[in-house]
Amino acid sequence: MFRSKLKVIGAMLLVSAALTAACTSTTGGAASPAPSASASAGAPTPDPEVPKVPGPPLDAGKYVAETCSIVPKDVLASLRYTDAGEYQPQGNTPTSQAGPTCLWKLRGEGIGLSVILGTGNRERGAGGLAGAYAAYRRGVITRFLERAPDVEGYPAIYVDVQDERSMGSCGLDVGIADDLAFDVYAQGYQGQDDSCAAANQVAASIIKTLKGA
């Protein structure tokens, strides 16, 4: 059950990327002066509601091939995840095109946790939180999006196919650069507080890891 939902989350992020790329495509060439208002009437404009990453962006490159090590073992242990995570590299499936993934499960309990690095979205020119906002605006797969409290100073949103936080499933996207975000998804918990607390704890630990703390 958790793996099937992870596929939906992966597809959701991929669709977000495709929509954003379609809305923000550019052509190469030399820099030119800013066009007039009439000339730029058809040009896409940034969504003012998409939160920007304050300060320097974080580099997640080291963890593209080691995504399971981005969450410290003591944090996983505090959430009762003692097995090694299941790594899935970025690929060509709906689950993997958004970026590399690590999945942890509490076997026999229906509880699981996943982390997706949105490097695949970034490579398509559609990374960051903007992709989720673009999909939400169009109601394509992403039908729930809500601003979340910042995580260690970085902007975050709750996002999912629909709001299932009260049922114990919480998806949390955190922007670590304007063109890069990671997703933490906790499923099978005892309601909104429980699931989102787990997702937030993992997300905060990822930020600290990327800062080198």
Instruction: For residue 204, count other CB atoms closer than 10 A to its CB.
Output: 17
Structural domain of 79: 2-22+65-211
CB 168 within 8 A of CB 187: yes
pLDDT digits (tens, 9 = 90+) for 119-156: 998 888 778 999 888 878 888 777 899 999 999 999 99
If you average pLDDT over residues 72-93, what whole number do you get? 94
Contacts of 123 (CB under 8 A, 6+ apart): none
Which of these, 199, 208, 206, 35, lies nearest to 111 by C-alpha position?
Answer: 199
If you average pLDDT over residues 182-201, what whole number do you get? 96
Indicate whether 57 belongs to any domain. Answer: no
pLDDT digits (tens, 9 = 90+) for 147-188: 999 999 999 999 999 999 999 999 999 999 999 999 999 999
Indicate whether 207 belongs to any domain. Answer: yes
Indicate whether 52 belongs to any domain. Answer: no
Task: Supply the pLDDT for residue 118.
Answer: 94
Name the band, by pLDDT with cuts 50, 70 and 90, for residue 40.
very low
Indicate whether 29 belongs to any domain. Answer: no
The CATH number given to whatever domain includes residue 191 is 3.40.1000
Amino acid, res. 6? L
Which of these, 193, 201, 188, 203, lies nearest to 6 by C-alpha position?
Answer: 188
Which of these, 154, 138, 124, 132, lies nearest to 49 by C-alpha position?
Answer: 132
